[in-house]
Amino acid sequence: MRAKRLTSAFATLGLLTGLTGLTGLAATAATAQPAAVTTVAATSTSVPRPDHVVVVLFENTSEGSIIGNSNAPYFNQLANSGANFTNSFAIEHPSEPNYLDLFSGSNQGVTDDSCPHTFSTPNEGAQLIAKGLTFTGYSENLPSAGSTVCTAGTSGYARKHNPWVNFSNVPAADNQPFSAFPTDFTKLPTVSWVVPNLCDDMHDCSTATGDSWLKAHLDSYVQWAQAHNSVLITTFDEDDSSGPTNQIATIFNGQPVKTGVYNEHVDHFGVLRTIEDMYGLPYAGAAANATSITDAWNTGTTGSVMVTNPGSQTGTVGTAASLQISAADSATGTLSYSASGLPAGLSIDPASGLISGTPTAAGTSTVTVTATDSTGPTGSASFSWTVNPVASNVVTVTNPGAQTGTVGTAASLQVSASDSASGQTLSYSASGLPAGLSINSASGLISGTPTAAGTSTVSVTATDTTGVSGSASFSWTVNPVSGGCTAAQLLGNAGFETGSAAPWTATSGVINSDMTSEPAHSGSYDAWLDGYGSSHTDTLAQTVTVPAGCANATLTYWLHIDTDKTGTTAADTLKLQAISGSTTTTLATSSNLNANTGYTQHTVNLSQYVGKTITLKFTGTENSSSAQTSFVIDDTALNVS
């Protein structure tokens, strides 16, 4: 079981969406509840099972002070883009009993904000751990991991807002400061809680303070969760005691969440019940009599949408811009695109995802692009776009016109550029060059030997020391060898030694440098698919053109498989497929039954694809068992002759 992934099971973040509360339970009840000492087996199957759930709690604010309040723009953004529960209530007053209610289905007999307490009764964290899943609570300004202090700092940490520290059946290691909250969200636990300090949770400070904190610290998770089967639950411990109902705002966001306004009764017990149903946990305390939220989910849809992040963009006022947004969609519907934060003058085509237009004002924007499948799943990516003012100097690249060449024949093209400003040094870059060619960044000379036939659109850019640049685009056609074949190895980054995927495409975490857990066959990197011990799919793919005129095309790769599974069932599999046009052919299949102590070389004949462009795709699939299987690939090669 790979330490970096299974240890990070307690690092997996998920977003929990709308939960229905206990019907008939008075929202204002302040009576102490007896400590729950037994649990009831969960039976509901009408809620999704997110990969990660994150619960964030704020303090002492009524629903009417959040929803529609101009001082809470980010809370309202979440409400408008997720499930907004308009009939949500706390259980009682003051704060501490409500935290215990949400975590354990009971206030454990606590009716004030006293400290310390120790309990051993059932609770959400202990239930997850007993199920083989993971839990971590993150408290802002907690002095150290596992700390049991009652308070720390002015408007800082308060144990009364940290329920898990009171339970002896939740390990001290699961009590962490918020500074330990992962920035790689795949390393989040199954379920995690986030509790801001007494200022940022709005107990001591303004609504605007809490709103700004939430956006700054969890918006990136919200964007990630939209494409990674995860959920964020945003809620409050209690209202501000200004009215008799104890009504609070509760909002769910994430890929499984169906956007809308929901008016069924929701309370802390119902939220706990919903989380327990998500993971098949027993019911703690009053959660046994509560009702799960079942209407706020994108049910009946499968697959996911992942938007490729194009990285930071730059442009100039008055100069036309064009950026094609790409997304991978494993669902069954049609994609549509939207964008927020675009520089003035730019817009996105909802059908194609092409951002185009002419910027009209200088400045830097944070752009978020969302692709939505018509069956429900969505994915997003955020990046910066800087529009510079019109420069006083101009860099001009001379367009060399269309180029042609032949596979195996050396090519050389000198790119020329001029700068209207004197004393400038130009640097050169190029995109879209045929395989085998590169550009000298200092001189602008493109040279090399083409390795594959085809036509590319090449864009060459010259940039001076002030940051002003100019570009020229042209086509470059590489013809196959007439009546012959040049022996070559066609795969790029064949041993993954660049430390990144390109020109492969891979799911997150596949390119691996952890040589202790999964050593490479050679070098310092390999491709590690799966190894999570839960239902999971990883992919690794590269598109390549096999030259016409070649008689032989052979793919080789080294494969190591290790597994914790026992028995004779091929439960976890690695498939190698060739995709040519609309035809997908499975070339090889391995499974947990093929586990080996070292690497084994595999050879596949690809001669049938001579003269074609194909995508070679590895797909590693783990079932839902907690026993992991890791498929580790290294030193690939596609040799033609």
Which pLDDT tens digit goes with each residue over 391-414? 678 899 999 999 999 888 999 999
What CATH number matches the domain at 488-640, 1.25.40.10, 3.40.50.2300, 2.60.120.260, 3.40.50.920? 2.60.120.260
Which pLDDT value is given to residue 180? 97
Torsion on CA atoms 103, 108, 111, 112, rounded to nearest 10: -70
Please answer whether residues 462 and 444 qualify as being in contact, where contact means their C-beta atoms are separated by less than 8 angstroms: yes
Predicted confidence at residue 331, as pLDDT, reads 65
Dist. CA 157–CA 178, nearest whole Å: 11
Whether residue 361 has pLDDT greater than 50: yes
Alpha-helix runs per DSSP H in 437-498? none
CA Rg value for the chain: 28
pLDDT of residue 483: 59
**Within a 10 A sphere around the Cβ of 556, how many other Cβ atoms?**
16
CB contact set of 189 (below 8 Å; sequence gap of 6+): 9, 10, 11, 12, 13, 52, 128, 133, 134, 135, 136, 174
pLDDT digits (tens, 9 = 90+) for 31-41: 333 333 333 33
pLDDT at 44: 38
Reply yes or no on whether the pLDDT at 332 is more than 70: no
pLDDT per position as a tens digit, 239-289: 998 878 999 999 999 999 999 999 999 999 999 999 999 988 999 999 999
Range 395-479: architecture per CATH: Sandwich (2.60)
- The pLDDT of residue 362: 87
Q: Give whole-number Cα distances, 382 to 147, 378, 409, in Å.
A: 36, 14, 42
Q: If DSSP codes are grouped into helix, strand and coil, which group holds residue 471?
A: strand
Position 7 scores a pLDDT of 33
User: What separation in angstroms does the CA of 453 have from each of 125, 474, 612?
Assistant: 58, 17, 10
Q: pLDDT > 70: what percent of the chain?
A: 91
Tokens of 618: 């590895």
Task: Compute the average pLDDT of residues 533-557.
Answer: 92
Measured CA to CA in angstroms, residue 619 lies from 71, 149, 230, 507, 531 at distances of 47, 48, 22, 10, 13
Domain range annotation of the chain: 3-29+36-108+117-289, 305-388, 395-479, 488-640
For position 45, what pLDDT does the model report?
43
Return the minimum-mean-pLDDT range out of 7-21, 74-88, 551-565. Answer: 7-21
Q: Which residues contact 608 (CB under 8 A, 6 or more apart)?
A: none
Indicate whether 27 pLDDT > 60: no
pLDDT band of 15, cuts 50, 70, 90: very low
In angstroms, the CA 81 to CA 234 distance is 13
DSSP 3-state assignment of 228?
coil
State residue 393's pLDDT score: 81
- Report the candidate in 585, 3, 17, 524 with the shortest Cα–Cα distance to residue 270: 17
Is pLDDT of 519 > 50?
Answer: yes
| Share of residues in the chain with pLDDT > 90 (%) | 76
336 pLDDT band, cuts 50/70/90, is confident
- pLDDT tens per residue across span 609-641: 988 999 999 999 998 778 999 999 999 999 998
Query: Of the given ranges (14-23, 80-89, 462-471, 485-494), which has the lowest mean pLDDT?
Result: 14-23
Tokens in use for 231? 């959920």
Supply the pLDDT for residue 467. Answer: 82
**Contact at 8 Å (CB) between 284 and 39?**
yes
45 versus 433: which is more confidently predicted? Answer: 433
Tell whether the model's pLDDT for residue 512 goes beyond 70. Answer: yes
Which one, of 533, 524, 615, 518, lies nearest residue 571 by Cα? 533
Distance CA 359, CA 61 (A): 42
Beta-strand pair 469-479/403-406: parallel
**And the tokens for 3?**
């330490």
For the 3-29+36-108+117-289 domain, the top CATH level (class) is alpha beta
Q: pLDDT band at 448, cuts 50/70/90?
A: very high
pLDDT band at 299 (very low <50, low <70, confident <90, very high): low
The full 3-state SS of 392-424, as one line of letters, equals CCCEEECCCCCEEEECCCCEEEECCEEECCCCC
Alpha-carbon 244 to chain mean position: 41
Q: In the structure encoding, which two tokens stand for residue 464, read together?
A: 């001076």
User: Distance (Å, rounded) from C-alpha 283 to C-alpha 290?
Assistant: 9
Dihedral Cα 208, 160, 186, 296, nearest 10 deg: -70
Residue 76 has pLDDT above 80, yes or no: yes
Q: Give dist(CA 229, CA 250) in Å, integer.
A: 20
- pLDDT for the residue numbered 386: 94
Report pTM. 0.46
Q: What are phi and psi of 313, to 5 degrees?
A: -115, 150
- Fold agreement (305-388, 488-640): no
CA pair distance 267, 269, nearest whole angstrom: 6
Would you state the torsion angle of the CA atoms of residues 161, 163, 164, 169, taken in this order, to the nearest 10 degrees?
160
Which CATH architecture fits 305-388? Sandwich (2.60)
Query: Helix (H, G, I), strand (E, B), or coil: what is residue 17?
Result: coil
Q: What is the mean pLDDT of the chain?
A: 89
Q: What is the pLDDT of residues 148-204, one digit of tens each?
A: 999 999 989 999 999 999 999 999 999 999 999 999 999 999 999 999 999 999 999
pLDDT for position 34: 33
Per-residue pLDDT band for 300 (boundaries 50, 70, 90) equals: low
